[in-house]
Amino acid sequence: MSTMTSTGSTGGPAPAESAHPRAGRGRGLRLSGMNWLVWRQHRAAYWTLLATAAITVALMLYGRQQMVTYLDGYGWPDLKSGWEEKFNRTPLSMAGQLIGYAPILIGVFVGAPLLAGDLEGGTAKLVNAQSTSRVRWLATKLGVTALVVAVSTAAASAVFTWWWSPVKSSQYALDWSDGNAFDSSGPVPVALSLFTVVGGIAIGMLLRRTLLSIVVTFGFAVVVQMVWSHFRMSLGDVITVTTGNGVGADNFPKLPDGAYAVDQSYLTASGDLIGYGSCNEATDKAANACLEKAQVVGWNVEYIPISQMSSMQWLGASILLALTAGIAAFVILWGRKRLV
Amino acid sequence: MMSNGAGYGGHEIYGGLAGESAIEAHSVGRRYRRGWALRDCSFRLPAGRICGLVGPNGAGKTTLMSIAANLLEPTSGTLRVFGAAPQSAEAGRRTAFLAQEKPLFKRFTVAETLRLGRELNPGWDQRAAENIVRAGNVPFEARIGTLSGGQRTRVAFAVAFGKRPDLLLLDEPMSDLDPLVRHELMSTLLAEAAERGTTVLMSTHMIAELENTCDYLLVIAEGGLRLAGEVDELRTAHAVLTGVHSDGRAPAEVAYHTVVETRTSGRQFTALVRPDGPVNGGPWQASTPNLEELLLAYLRSPEAPPLISPSSYVAPQAVAA
């Protein structure tokens, strides 16, 4: 009986499995327990993410190589003036844009289905009927996913930052205050991606439907992007410079390279500020008369220097990571009691 | 673990029944937004029994099992699995639950599905699980999504068995199996249970299945417990009275006993009663009901007073949670 059935089944690796508890394909890394289950269940998503990151990194390394070849012609690292004229900024800005989309894509396609799929398909019951605790299951799902997301986005961000660094201070390449640069370099892509992916996981847990969670997570991720772009520059300390020698074209204060101008206004003799647009008259003569009448003596300019960029990114990233940790704790505490 | 029974004065009255309890429920209730699915359910299931859980659809069977399997928390009351809370690691290790829809990962192969059981359960028995799969000639390399419903149920069974549970909770386990497979899996189940002393709680609609396999019975209807106890004990506690009725009603003497249900058809009446005294001597013939008669009578008459046999009785003063 047993010989008959064992020849009937494929006879290959499966029977051997009972003798030796190993079934992996010898990838070197031996996963076991819950880590194995989570990786096996979501391996398509994880590999897609890692492969996409690897391709992006390779393309960006090539892009940097091209850029450095061009800049070498202008004496890089001490760039001669005029290098900007034929500089092709498109690859750099496209890469920045691509990395900028990563949080939305990752949140929608990795985060939203992560728990919603199990709750919708009933497999949450299967896993929770085994000997391991629910907290362990939730923590492993969150942990493995966060690790894969962090590794992928950190690699992409690091290479992008490296690519951009030779021309970072120049507005010709990228404007550092712009999302393409600010959100695609340093710790920001990692923090934004982790925040949206964990948000997507929480949405999936509450809604328990994959498709609905994907749609709602998309909305959530877009709102996160909008709120983030709105408050991005509020992370910096605004520096104010004032001048007292008139508002002629030559008298505008000299700002450091790559400074992001927050606001500019006229300074009057009494020390008040009036808006830049308040003397927009039809003719220069009328405008000058207006300035005269208001007793404008100079400029008041507020800006954020590029030297703050890194600290702003780290401040923003730590706020996002704190929020992420809060959502992750909510997923575990809520899921421990009410899941399945 | 052996301390159970200490706080339950009730058991001492029925000496010899105070063996280990697989499940002890004290006023367990569960409310959903629609209302109570299970209400004030108190019983004890002695270890080592094969227990049928019967009730109409929506009676709270799945809810009760889910509470024991730690998939749900009761809204009120407490439930213990071998004396431990369902959410404890010990109860989790000793309990296996086969949900009604038999959820499995569709993209996993059969071998991977068994590996899931092995990775997540310290006491996993790969050989037992593989034997169940092999007996149905299910290829180990096949993906779950490509299997037939019966094959999938078999794999789900293998995962539940491989865990080597002390308490096996099966929610309508046989609903999508053909009679041959059902018979084979039932024999496996009974053999394993007998060999290892596994307690089985199995919900089903098939009364024939119960008759052959179960030695214990829990009946719930409308969220409350109607009957609990050993099958033979419950049967002999009732009598079926049949006779000729006059003017469409059963004779008045029937009401000397606790009446569960009376029915008339043609010139005959049939009454299922719990005798309060001798049943012979009335204008009827008395006999012991079979399981089907007993179940149908209780399911049809939800207002009949419940009967909780001594072996499944728990004292109302529950242990503190």
**A36 contacts in B (CB within 8 Å)?**
115, 119
How many angstroms separate the most distant Cα atoms in chain B? 69
Cβ atoms of B214 and B174 within 8 Å: the answer is: no
Q: How far apart are CA B318 and CA B261, in angstroms?
A: 32
CB contact under 8 A, B134 and A36: no
Q: Quote the CA–CA distance of B205 and B190 in Å, as a whole number.
A: 18
- Run of H or E residues at B175: none
Q: Look at A125 and B103 and tell me if their CB atoms are within 8 Å.
A: yes
Pairwise CA distance, residues A89 & A86, whole Å: 9
CATH code 3.40.250.10 for B9-233? no
Q: Note whether A214 and A108 are within 8 A (CB).
A: yes
User: CB under 8 Å to A78, separation ≥6 — which residues?
Assistant: none
Of all residues in chain B, what percent carry a pLDDT higher than 70? 92
Amino acid at B16: G
How is residue A232 written in tokens?
A: 């991005």
Q: Are B112 and A20 within 8 A, CB to CB?
A: no
State the Cα–Cα distance between residues B304 and B307, nearest whole angstrom.
9
User: In the beta sheet, which residues pair with residue B287?
Assistant: B240
Q: What is the pLDDT of residue A15?
A: 42
Nearest-Cα residue of chain A relative to residue B123: A131
Average of pLDDT values for B112-126?
Answer: 95
Both tokens of B222, joined, read 């409308």
How does residue B186 score in pLDDT terms, banded at 50, 70 and 90? confident
**How many A/B residue pairs have CB atoms within 8 Å?**
107
Angle at which helices A43-72 and A134-164 cross, to 10°:
10
More confident of the two residues A10 and B269: B269
The CB density around residue A226, as the number of other CB atoms within 10 Å, is 10
Which residue, among B210, B3, B18, has the nearest Cα to B201 in the 3D structure?
A: B210
**Contact yes or no for B70/A336 (Cβ under 8 A):** no
Read off the DSSP letter of residue B19. Answer: -
Closest CA to A166 of A58, A78, A98, A88: A78
**What's CA B306's distance to the chain center, in Å?**
16
Q: Which candidate from A36, A121, A125 shows the least CB-CB separation from B71?
A: A125
Q: What is the DSSP string of A185-208?
A: STTHHHHHHHHHHHHHHHHHHHH-
Residue A339: alpha-carbon gap to chain centroid:
30
Asked if residue A262 lies in contact with residue A303, where contact means CB atoms within 8 angstroms, the answer is yes
Q: How many Å apart are CA A113 and CA A90, to the nearest integer?
A: 34
Cβ contact A17–B115 (<8 Å): yes
Name which of B211, A10, B14 is nearest B5 in CA terms: B14
Q: A102 to each of A110, A197, A221, B317, how far by Cα in Å?
A: 11, 10, 10, 58
Alpha carbon of A129: minimum distance to chain B alpha carbons (Å): 6
CB A181 within 8 A of CB A92: no
Question: Residue B2 pLDDT > 60, yes or no?
Answer: no
Q: How confident is the model at residue B165 (pLDDT cuts 50, 70, 90)?
A: very high
Q: What's the mean per-residue pLDDT of chain B?
A: 86
Nearest residue in B to A33, CA atom:
B119
Cα(B9)–Cα(B20) distance, integer angstroms:
15
Give all strands of the β-sheet with B35-46 in edge-to-edge order.
B35-46, B21-32, B76-81
Domain ranges of chain A: 33-236+308-338, 239-307
Instruction: Give one DSSP letter per residue of A18-58, joined into a string.
Output: HHS---S---S----HHHHHHHHHTHHHHHHHHHHHHHHHH
Chain A nearest-CA distance from B205, in A, is: 22
Nearest to A253 by CA among A281, A170, A261: A261
Phi, psi torsion values for B2, nearest 5 degrees? -85, 5
SS3 A297: strand
Neighbours of A7 (CB within 10 A): 9
How high is the pLDDT of residue B146?
Answer: 96
Whether residue B289 is preceded by a cis peptide bond, meaning omega within 30 degrees of 0, is no
Cβ <8 Å between B163 and A131 = yes
B98 bridge partner residues: B170
Query: Could you report the average pLDDT of every consecutive run of 10 residues in chain A (340 residues)?
Result: 38 41 54 94 96 97 94 85 86 94 97 96 94 94 97 97 90 87 95 98 96 98 96 92 80 84 87 82 82 86 92 96 98 84
Contact, A38 vs A146, CB < 8 A? no
Helix (H) or strand (E) holding A270: none
A7 touches chain B (CB under 8 A): no
Q: Inform me whether the C-beta atom of residue A271 falls under 8 Å from chain B C-beta atoms.
A: no
The answer to whether residue A251 neighbours chain B at the CB level (below 8 Å) is no
CB A238 within 8 A of CB A304: yes
Do B60 and B218 contact (CB within 8 A), yes or no? no
Q: Does the CB of B71 have a partner CB in chain A at under 8 Å?
A: yes
- Work out whether the CA dihedral B100, B105, B108, B111 comes out positive or negative: negative
pLDDT band at residue B4 under the 50/70/90 scheme: very low
Whose structure tokens read 């909770």?
Answer: B169
Residues B35-64, buried b or exposed e (16+ Cβ, 10 A)?
ebbbbebbbbbbbbbbbbbbbeeebbbbbb
Per the CB < 8 Å rule, is A125 touching B139?
A: no
Whole-structure pTM value: 0.85
For residue A127, the surrounding DSSP H or E stretch is helix A123-128
E strand or H helix at B237: none
Q: Which of B72, B113, B140 to substitute to test the interface with A, most A CBs within 10 Å?
A: B140
Q: Report CA-CA distances (Å) from B136 to A318, B13, B290, B316.
A: 55, 48, 34, 46
